Chain A
């Protein structure tokens, strides 16, 4: 087949330290990986949480007492806030030959019940802090097995090695259609996602991570927790994001995984208080789950921190590509990780690979819509440059078809308007005028800290600068109206802009 890009592990070699690159090996299952970690890092700290430190050996000891509760070949729903107990229960489930269905802790009681039924769970493993979420399942299915993950058992069970294709986790995703569903990831996919997190990070073994992302999201579970354990690193669990800077001062992390909105907040706070709030030990920020602005990529190195942007999906076990060379290619989401095939069909990125999910659980209609000839259709518009770097230019469902038949990807146009440092974010959308004609319009949110020296009317200044950019665009991409906002756009929980749909 033509126009298929097959990825190559060797292109990553130059971005990692040579000794560490050769340590990046693949295991058949999380069980096999975990037993190797326990052997190799036994007395090293794996997790710090709530004032306690747990070594790899401690974590295995505690998980071994939970395994007998879950059995083999079962589907175990896990409802637990970010904590050591989450890590222990998750590891116990997936290393006992069962599948963990990770339920976001913020789900309401009706959804906890609904998800357990829809996703075919055999058991619900819960943390007592969330016991009020069990009201509906207890009333509607009194016989459904519920397991308190903090209850100790006398029995012990060793970890088992599953086969690469065996199911490992089911993760929630809004996916390409926005409706919530469960993506089934095999052990192979989870291991590939875990190892992918190591590529492009010069020194990745024996690091210190601070967890601020939810473990119910692939970015938290795979890039943060799994890559941390795989590399014999330690992870400090920040229980409340408002305490993150205090936790940083105590734990002194070397790597943090975060969404762009938090990276921007940390940068603004550091400037306000005149010191690096993220601590002098921090070397890398792994940034993703939403578009990363080149502004962050340029500003963080001034504080001695590399901000590495990437692209991934729940359906791809989190990681498709990562940018080890942000300096030269700040707008790219980087080079695709090994063992994948990429195709661009009518502008849309299609994927195959060992890291891809085995489909949405119990959702035939969604599966039918998501695949074509075995390729997963991401719904993202992309291009690949001559050096093999990937660029995400928008979402296919967000394409605006103008009355003259031209297709405009809002994200592609916004990328131009987002270039000046004084612009925090923009949205390009189609609007309809009172006379019925359709236009392309722009709203921009300024970044006040970058506008301090401007005299006179600031909004007028911004508008003029954006008009200059507008004039450089191809005619069909030019906007007919520019408005400068006083407030940020409405955002989704993952901080993406809630897009206007004024003409639909």
Chain B
């Protein structure tokens, strides 16, 4: 799948809006936004995010723990590298 960083960012925002069940999440998402402390994602939300990313981008996460991602930008970078 060919997608630039901006495209990945938009898709990831959509996923996080449905993961957090909060329509305002999209506005809060910036490169440095912290997933757990600022977006308030729970462990189940993080699991949702990982599964939805795999499904949307057709990639597979390595067996990293979800806590490896601190910020929104970390996740975008991870997806970007996987798509290369």
Cβ–Cβ < 8 Å partners of A245 in chain B: 51, 55
- Of A242, A448, A491, A495, which one neighbours B21 at CB under 8 angstroms? A448
Q: Does A241 reach chain B (CB closer than 8 Å)? A: yes
Binds B, one of A29-37, A171-179, A262-270: A262-270
Q: How many residues does chain A have at the interface if contact means C-beta atoms less than 8 Å apart? A: 25
Cβ–Cβ < 8 Å partners of A424 in chain B: 21
Cβ–Cβ < 8 Å partners of B63 in chain A: 240
Q: Does B77 reach chain A (CB closer than 8 Å)? A: no
Q: Report if A488-B45 is in contact (Cβ < 8 Å); known contacts: A272-B18, A446-B21.
A: yes
- Of A273, A451, A458, A495, which one neighbours B44 at CB under 8 angstroms? A495
Is B48 within 8 A of A268, CB to CB? yes
Q: Which of B52-69 contact A (CB under 8 A)?
A: 52, 54-55, 61, 63, 66
Q: Which of A238-281 contact B (CB under 8 A)?
A: 240-242, 244-245, 261-262, 265, 268-269, 272-273
Q: Does A487 reach chain B (CB closer than 8 Å)? A: yes
Q: How many residues does chain B have at the interface if contact means C-beta atoms less than 8 Å apart? A: 23
Q: Does B30 reach chain A (CB closer than 8 Å)? A: no
Cβ–Cβ < 8 Å partners of B45 in chain A: 488
A271 — nearest CB in chain B belongs to which residue?
A: B18
B interface footprint on A427-463 (CB within 8 Å = 1, 0 otherwise) = 0000000000000000001111101000000100000
B18 — nearest CB in chain A belongs to which residue?
A: A272
Cβ–Cβ < 8 Å partners of A273 in chain B: 52, 55
B53 to chain A: closest CB distance in Å? 10
Is A448 within 8 A of B17, CB to CB? yes
Q: Does A387 reach chain B (CB closer than 8 Å)? A: no
Bound complex: CA A38 to CA B63 (Å): 35
B16 to chain A: closest CB distance in Å? 11
Q: Does A386 reach chain B (CB closer than 8 Å)? A: no
Bound complex: CA A265 to CA B22 (Å): 14
Most buried by A among B43, B47, B54: B47
B71 to chain A: closest CB distance in Å? 17
Q: Does B79 reach chain A (CB closer than 8 Å)? A: no
Most buried by B among A241, A272, A451: A272
Is B51 within 8 A of A458, CB to CB? no
Q: Which of A306-349 contact B (CB under 8 A)?
A: none
Most buried by B among A240, A242, A446, A495: A242
A287 to chain B: closest CB distance in Å? 14
Q: Which of B27-84 contact A (CB under 8 A)?
A: 39-40, 42-45, 47-48, 50-52, 54-55, 61, 63, 66
Bound complex: CA A496 to CA B35 (Å): 20
Bound complex: CA A411 to CA B54 (Å): 37
Q: Does A486 reach chain B (CB closer than 8 Å)? A: yes
Cβ–Cβ < 8 Å partners of A261 in chain B: 42, 44
Is A242 within 8 A of B22, CB to CB? no
Cβ–Cβ < 8 Å partners of B24 in chain A: 486
Q: Report if A448-B44 is in contact (Cβ < 8 Å); known contacts: A272-B52, A273-B55.
A: no
Additional A-B contact list (15), CB under 8 Å, known A265-B44, A488-B45: A242-B50, A242-B61, A245-B51, A261-B42, A268-B18, A268-B21, A424-B21, A445-B21, A446-B21, A447-B21, A486-B40, A487-B40, A491-B42, A491-B43, A495-B44
25 A-B pairs with CB atoms under 8 Å apart are A240-B63, A242-B47, A242-B50, A242-B54, A242-B61, A244-B51, A261-B44, A268-B21, A269-B48, A269-B51, A269-B52, A269-B55, A272-B18, A273-B55, A446-B22, A448-B17, A449-B18, A449-B21, A458-B23, A486-B22, A487-B39, A488-B20, A488-B40, A491-B42, A495-B42
List residues of chain A with CB under 8 Å of any chain B CB: 240-242, 244-245, 261-262, 265, 268-269, 272-273, 424, 445-449, 451, 458, 486-488, 491, 495
Pick the 4 closest A-B CB pairs, nearest first.
A487-B40, A448-B21, A261-B44, A242-B50
